[in-house]
Structure 1
Amino acid sequence: MKQAEAQVVDARKFRFKSVLGGSIGNLVEWYDWYAYSVFALYFSSAFFPNDDETSQLLNTAGIFAIGFLMRPIGGWLMGAYADKKGRKAALTLSVLIMSAGSLAITFVPDYHHIGIAAPIILVLARLFQGISIGGEYGTAATYLSEIAPRRHRGFYSSFQYITTTCGQILALIVLLLLQRYFLTTTQLGSWGWRIPFGIGAVLALSTIYLRRNLPETTSFVKEKVAESKRGTVKELLKYPKETAIIVGFTIGTTVAFYTFTTYIQKFLVNTAKFSKADSTLITLIVLVVFMLAQPVSGIISDKIGRKRVMIIYGMVSMVATVPIMMALSATHNFWTATLLISLALVILSLCTSISAIIKAELFPVNIRTLGVSLPYALTVAIFGGTAETVALTFKKWGHNNWFFWYIAVCSLISLVVSLVIPDPDKTSRLEDNQY
């Protein structure tokens, strides 16, 4: 009896340490990634001198998209590394790369001092960050999935987006503190926007120690496949159906995610005409709602099944997105805007909470991280990374509403995939761990 109790205690300690290490590192990485978008309203003029705010935002959004183009490369390199050398090693390396990109943005001189070299350096820094975040998603998703007990996989999976959202919340808190208590708008636009990137670089370096001491997953340790068959594109090509499922499911979710968590701050300022301070506060509130919805949605998926939750998300998102965005573009009330965005994000949580587990359980251990990382990163680069640019381009053309329908069509694609895929609760390739 005592031995059995001791094993239960050891299992709980293992899971707590593993979830904490993976989650904290994920939080820091996504803070660094989101700091760019959150502070773009202030530093866009430092790199792209122009009197037209929409043009400045369009340029910074373009660089945001360029960072996404590196995510498939990061997914490929880091995914292969994780399948060959271990999840822990890849998680540690991704944080180090992210820190380098944040340090570069912190210290790069602006356009007035070094001319065209300023945006070039900014692009290079975002390329580094794109490689890092491209590998982070798949590795963290795989790690959390492999340590999760079978009955609670949806709940464990939800920590991926809990910490992702926490990273953006932290970036917004830094912005709010600087806006309201420490710096003027002029100071933020002149030099204050560098502060969050410096904070991110320091946090990333401090996270390396924690991740170096993470326990490796039992699934990876017990895998006996030869190294030549670990994490290679050749092996991944043996799973075309699984790859297509990830691409189709990701199309709708990534466009909605980057619309309502990243672009929405600029939408509130540039279209709904809220102040920068109010738009930041609204975004912070709705992200807290989104974060709290993750574990609830994960638990629901453990109760009723992941496929049912996926279908419910696709149907509701497809129908509700356009009315929500139309109402949001017409309102000037703080709490009305907050409630509308919160509704959209609660709907979105139905799929983001189980995103990690849905992908990870499609592949065997030897190809799992690459299988999660590469097709996901490719899809996010094409659709998620360009969502902001597409929205701003439609606005510049005078057709804001076109973007609303674009989101709805992408949700329809995800719904179709959710309807045709086999029930993941019955076909999962994840091992039943004994932690």
Structure 2
Amino acid sequence: MKGPASEGGPDSAATGDSAGAVTPPARPGRQLLAASVGNAVEWYDWYAYTFLAAYIAAQVFPKSAGNSLVPLLSTFAVFAVGFFMRPVGGLLMGAVADRHGRRAALTVTILLMGGSSLLVGLTPTYAAAGIFAPVILVLARLLQGLSVGGEFAASTTFLVESAGPGRRGLFASFQYVSTTVGQLVASGVAALLVANLASESMDGWGWRVPFVLGALFSVVGFWIRRGAQETRSEEQVRAPRPGLFEALRRHPRESLLICGITMGGTLAYYTWTSYLPTYAELNAGVAKADALLAGTISLAFFAVLQPVAGLASDRFGRKPLLLMFGLGFGVLCVPLLQALNGSFVTLLLVQCAGMVLLSGFTAISAAVNAETFPARVRAAGIGFPYSLTVALFGGTAPYLGTLFKDLGHAGLFPVYVAVLCLASSVVYLRLPETAHRPLER
């Protein structure tokens, strides 16, 4: 089976580092900070919407429908719409990263996210603006999707190219460390507001506070990223710029491989880290405050797991961890979700058990993706197929889970997650091991 690391397979990939095109940055810690702080801000803004979906539904969508789930379904539909801009962002910002540099793309994405977060925070209510309220919200989510899609493409490439020998898994793990920190802060801010504000205040103005904070955080992230060191080689800078669709046109197999790698992982990730509190409320009667608190604690646990799994992949390889995730979720997803019974402790244990398995995918997905494409088209090559797969399977997870409940078949959703994870496991079995190959520079 042909290795995916470069156009000429594993042999040419091995000569990429030896060609001396570029050396890892002299201050890798600073590179980690630049990527991680900005990425955390990006994902804080993105996830704040998820945690506050119920409040947004009550204010932005009409309540005239007889079914009380309709406003929530509408809000999660907008959540999915934002995801479908992510492939566009992955393609466009990935092309910017390949053509003009990783740092340039990272600067653009964080400015986009700050502006769109502020727009969500200033969205008028349906009572005040009518149909313009959901239109403004959709526009904001489209801009957020564009930013997040581009962020993954650029920051994944930036992180892995900043790593020294034998440390790509560790550096890649900070993609989800920072993502989780952003999500953790968003969850914590939401939980703090819910616990300390009266329901009238939360419905009226409290839900807007996290989005205004996100815009301010984006300014800080922008300032930090300006000091990052570019990771493209001089050879890449001098070479003709790749076309927008060059990665797809010249590397179709690698593009499909990214889709197969990501399919089960993104569905499990968004189910466990974003939708599970809502799932527990709808299907097990867990109180909203308890669900948010359990989510916050399990996210902190999840962040700690990432570097451990990343280091393990550098020593033992990527495939063992990927298979631990895929087969583990395929077998245990249904019984874990069926174990939810309304208890806070049970929910917390279920979430933490899933986080252990999920780390086998999240900690190393950035490294696996970067090791799949040659340097010339690495960011765009990762960005489009990855973001498209996330949109199809991750972005629709909250909507499908809520829809299954509305149709009276809530038990089908865990089966759906398990089947997709098993399907990705087939791909993992066929992957070549890339952990110990030099990365083409």
Which TM-score band applies after superposition, normalised by the shorter structure?
A: over 0.9
- Pairing 1:198–2:198 present: no
Residues 231 and 95 (structure 1 numbering): CA distance in 2 closer, same or farther, change over 3 Å? farther
Instruction: Note the alpha carbon deviations across 1:228-271, whole angstroms, 9 max, x for none.
Output: 3x253134321122111110011100000000111112112222
Match of 1:430 in 2: 440
- Pairing 1:332–2:328 present: no
Structure 2 letter corresponding to 1:339: L
Q: CA deviation at 1:76?
A: 0.8
- Structure 2 stretches lacking a partner, 5+ long: 1-22
Match of 2:368 in 1: 358
Q: CA deviation at 1:289?
A: 1.1
Segment of structure 1 superposing worse, 67-76 or 147-156: 147-156
Q: 2 CA distance for matches of 1:311 and 1:43?
A: 38
Residues 429 and 18 (structure 1 numbering): CA distance in 2 closer, same or farther, change over 3 Å? closer
Q: Is the 8 A contact 1:263 1:388 kept in 2?
A: yes
Q: Is the 8 A contact 2:35 2:225 kept in 1?
A: yes
Q: 2 CA distance for matches of 1:234 and 1:364?
A: 12
Q: 2 CA distance for matches of 1:17 and 1:165?
A: 19
Q: 2 CA distance for matches of 1:81 and 1:12?
A: 21
Q: Which has the higher helix share?
A: 1
Structure 2 letter corresponding to 1:215: Q
- Pairing 1:314–2:329 present: no
Q: Is the 8 A contact 1:79 1:231 kept in 2?
A: no
Instruction: Note the alpha carbon deviations across 1:64-99, whole angstroms, 9 max, x for none.
Output: 000001001101110000000000000010000011
- Pairing 1:394–2:395 present: no
Instruction: Note the alpha carbon deviations across 1:261-302, whole angstroms, 9 max, x for none.
Output: 111121122221111111110110111111111111111111
Residues 117 and 163 (structure 1 numbering): CA distance in 2 closer, same or farther, change over 3 Å? same
Match of 1:304 in 2: 316
Q: CA deviation at 1:428?
A: 5.7
Q: 2 CA distance for matches of 1:347 and 1:197?
A: 31
Q: 1 CA distance for matches of 2:158 and 2:151?
A: 10
Match of 2:422 in 1: 412
Secondary structure at 1:422's aligned position in 2?
coil
Q: CA deviation at 1:173?
A: 1.3
Q: CA deviation at 1:149?
A: 1.4
- Pairing 1:168–2:183 present: yes
Structure 1 letter corresponding to 2:222: I
Structure 2 letter corresponding to 1:295: P
1:152 to 167, 184, 198: 167
- TM-score normalised to structure 2 length: 0.92
Give the number of aligned pairs.
Answer: 417
Secondary structure at 2:205's aligned position in 1?
helix
Instruction: Note the alpha carbon deviations across 1:92-143, whole angstroms, 9 max, x for none.
Output: 1000001111111111210000101100100000000000000001111000
CA-atom RMSD in angstroms: 1.6
Structure 2 letter corresponding to 1:67: G
2:257 to 240, 245, 249: 245
Secondary structure at 1:193's aligned position in 2?
helix
Structure 2 letter corresponding to 1:373: G
1:188-267 superposed matches below 5 A: 188-217=202-231, 219-223=232-236, 226-228=239-241, 230=242, 232-267=244-279
Q: Is the 8 A contact 1:74 1:130 kept in 2?
A: yes
Q: 2 CA distance for matches of 1:73 and 1:261?
A: 24
Q: 1 CA distance for matches of 2:234 and 2:147?
A: 24
Match of 1:279 in 2: 291
Match of 1:36 in 2: 49
Q: 1 CA distance for matches of 2:55 and 2:416?
A: 28
Segment of structure 1 superposing worse, 40-49 or 357-366: 40-49
Instruction: Note the alpha carbon deviations across 1:374-419, whole angstroms, 9 max, x for none.
Output: 1001101111111111111111110111111100111011101100
Structure 2 letter corresponding to 1:201: A
